[in-house]
């Protein structure tokens, strides 16, 4: 644990480290450590679960349910989760929902001891749906926590460095996971990497719980802070708390926020259409081994690291909307290049496109959304965002798996890659 903290402290200055006001430093560090530990979970459980259940005989429909099941739950409870968050301290709510969400990784480690392959597939699908119940509130709560803990002028800086740190840890752990899966027999190798996922999820949750929001009654100014920083900080600290109003309030959809929401919903729909097909294509069509999948995934995150290091500069030059559109264009190349390549080399060539695209789009889109939301409407706007994204996840995953059965996996990847490109152009022109 101490070694990872030291790694974060070593890496951050080398990613570009302007002088951060003292009042924000602790929260920024915990945000960096949160993502560093969670990268271990993402590089193991989240990256390999689709491959694992595919090797256990999962169908395209079941792979679609891996995302769609969560989408159904999120759609059903997003409004209630938003209201629940409004009535509770934000830091405490994020911690509680993170604990409940991440406890569901623990059974993954022991499932092969007790269940047959087909039963393991359904059990993981059920646990994924169960995790999405607190996960709905966690997603909305973290976005709100990030918005309150990180001032607007620092969001590109923090988001870019979180992405970069995530990519560095992800690359290392992905290569380690590939070595583990190559060395240990199936399914023991997967049980080991799922145990690593539990460790990462636990420590990530600890650092989420250590984030503290500044309160108006306790401003602290440090001597080395510039006057511009003091003024910006003071403006944040004395800003009156917005009056909270319950309900979905459809009027917030009028104007700039509604346009951004539609654009991001279309983008996420195109994002989830091919998602159920990647594992099937890699395992069944290309016949990739676990180490090959591990290496290609590492290439994805090497590119993501490079994109993350450029995110802050690109956002300052072009703005979050254009950077989101550029990222979406690169993401559209991922299924296209993979399907056109028709070999392990196509997969390897596609991976950097996806990583670079996700660094840009993933880092800029939530900040683009937050730019178009007033502080008074932040809570209800995030509820609408959660509803829109989960609707896209649900319909995209189900339509994608059906499209793979109807058109064939390779043709479906080409079609869905084209739709991703159209979504990117929509973001650029209409968002």
Q: Tell me the pLDDT of the chain averaged across its residues.
A: 82
pLDDT at 334 over 70: yes
83-136 per-position pLDDT tens digit: 787 788 888 889 999 999 999 999 999 999 999 999 999 999 999 989 988 988
Instruction: Give 257-282 as a DSSP string.
Output: HHHHHHHHHHHHHHHHSSHHHHHHII
Burial code (b: 16+ CB inside 10 Å, e: under 16) for 295-314 equals: bbbbbbbbbbbebbbbbbeb
φ/ψ of residue 87, rounded to 5: -95, 0
Total of domains in the chain: 1
Closest C-alpha to 318, from 352, 364, 263: 364
Q: How far apart are CA 336 and CA 417, in angstroms?
A: 5
Q: What is the mean pLDDT of residues 38-52?
A: 90
pTM reported for the whole predicted model: 0.70
pLDDT band for 431, please (50, 70, 90 cuts).
low
Closest C-alpha to 29, from 152, 149, 139: 149
For residue 242, the 8-state DSSP code is P
User: Does residue 11 fall inside a structural domain?
Assistant: no
pLDDT band for 1, please (50, 70, 90 cuts).
low
User: Does residue 2 fall inside a structural domain?
Assistant: no
Higher-confidence position of 337 and 15: 337
- Token pair for 98: 């993170």
φ/ψ of residue 241, rounded to 5: -65, 130
C-alpha neighbours within 13 Å on the C-beta side of residue 186: 11
User: Does residue 15 fall inside a structural domain?
Assistant: no
Between CA 350 and CA 352, with CA 351 as vertex, the angle to 5 degrees is: 100
For residue 187, the 8-state DSSP code is T
User: Does residue 5 fall inside a structural domain?
Assistant: no
CA 240 to centroid of chain Cα atoms: 31
Which domain covers residue 200, as residue numbers?
Answer: 21-240+249-430
pLDDT at 262 over 60: yes
pLDDT band for 215, please (50, 70, 90 cuts).
low
Name residue, tokens 């929001």. Answer: 213
Q: Which residues, at least 6 apart from 139, have a Cβ–Cβ distance to it below 8 Å?
A: 74, 386
pLDDT at 24 over 90: no
Instruction: Give 295-307 as a DSSP string.
Output: HHHHHHHHHHHHH
Q: Which residues, at least 6 apart from 342, have a Cβ–Cβ distance to it below 8 Å?
A: 286, 410
111-120 per-position pLDDT tens digit: 999 999 999 9
User: Does residue 283 fall inside a structural domain?
Assistant: yes
pLDDT reported for residue 149: 84
pLDDT at 25 over 90: no
User: Does residue 16 fall inside a structural domain?
Assistant: no
User: Does residue 195 fall inside a structural domain?
Assistant: yes
CATH of the domain at 260: 1.20.1250.20
pLDDT reported for residue 206: 94
User: Does residue 1 fall inside a structural domain?
Assistant: no
221-248 per-position pLDDT tens digit: 443 333 333 333 333 333 344 444 445 6
pLDDT reported for residue 194: 95
Higher-confidence position of 283 and 225: 283
């Amino acid at each position: 644990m101490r070694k990872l903290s030291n790694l974060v402290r070593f890496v951050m200055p080398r990613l570009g480290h302007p002088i951060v006001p003292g009042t924000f430093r602790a929260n920024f560090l915990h945000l960096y450590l949160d993502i560093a530990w969670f990268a271990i979970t993402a590089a193991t459980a989240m990256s390999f679960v689709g491959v694992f259940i595919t090797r256990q005989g999962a169908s395209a429909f079941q792979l679609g349910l891996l995302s769609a099941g969560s989408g159904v739950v999120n759609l059903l409870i997003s409004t209630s989760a938003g209201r629940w968050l409004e009535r509770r301290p934000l830091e405490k709510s994020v911690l509680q929902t993170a604990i409940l969400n991440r406890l569901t990784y623990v059974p993954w480690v022991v499932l092969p001891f007790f269940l047959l392959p087909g039963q393991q597939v359904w059990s993981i699908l059920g646990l994924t749906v169960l995790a999405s119940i607190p996960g709905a509130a966690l997603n909305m709560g973290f976005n709100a926590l990030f918005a309150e803990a990180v001032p607007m002028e620092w969001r590109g800086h923090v988001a870019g460095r979180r992405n970069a740190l995530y990519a560095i840890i992800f690359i290392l752990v992905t290569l380690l996971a590939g070595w583990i899966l190559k060395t240990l027999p199936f399914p023991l190798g997967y049980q080991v990497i799922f145990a690593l996922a539990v460790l990462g999820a636990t420590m990530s949750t600890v650092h989420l719980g250590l984030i503290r929001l500044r309160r108006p009654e306790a401003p602290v100014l440090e001597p080395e802070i510039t006057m511009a920083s003091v003024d910006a900080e003071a403006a944040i600290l004395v800003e009156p708390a917005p009056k909270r109003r319950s309900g979905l309030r459809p009027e917030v959809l009028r104007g700039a926020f509604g346009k951004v929401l539609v654009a991001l919903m279309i983008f996420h729909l195109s994002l989830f259409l091919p998602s159920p097909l990647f594992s099937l294509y890699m395992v069944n069509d290309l016949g990739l081994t676990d180490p090959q999948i591990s290496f290609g995934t590492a290439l994805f995150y090497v590119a993501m690291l490079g994109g993350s290091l450029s995110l802050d500069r690109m956002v300052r030059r072009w703005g979050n909307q254009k950077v989101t559109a550029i990222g979406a264009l690169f993401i559209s190349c991922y299924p296209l290049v993979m399907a056109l390549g028709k070999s392990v080399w196509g997969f390897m060539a596609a991976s950097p496109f996806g990583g670079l695209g996700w660094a840009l789009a993933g880092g800029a889109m939530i900040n683009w959304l937050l730019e178009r939301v007033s502080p008074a409407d932040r809570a209800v706007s995030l509820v609408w965002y959660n509803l829109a994204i989960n609707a896209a996840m649900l319909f995209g995953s189900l339509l994608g798996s059906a499209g793979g059965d109807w058109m064939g996996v390779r043709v479906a990847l080409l079609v869905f890659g084209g739709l991703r490109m159209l979504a990117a152009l929509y973001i650029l022109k209409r968002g």
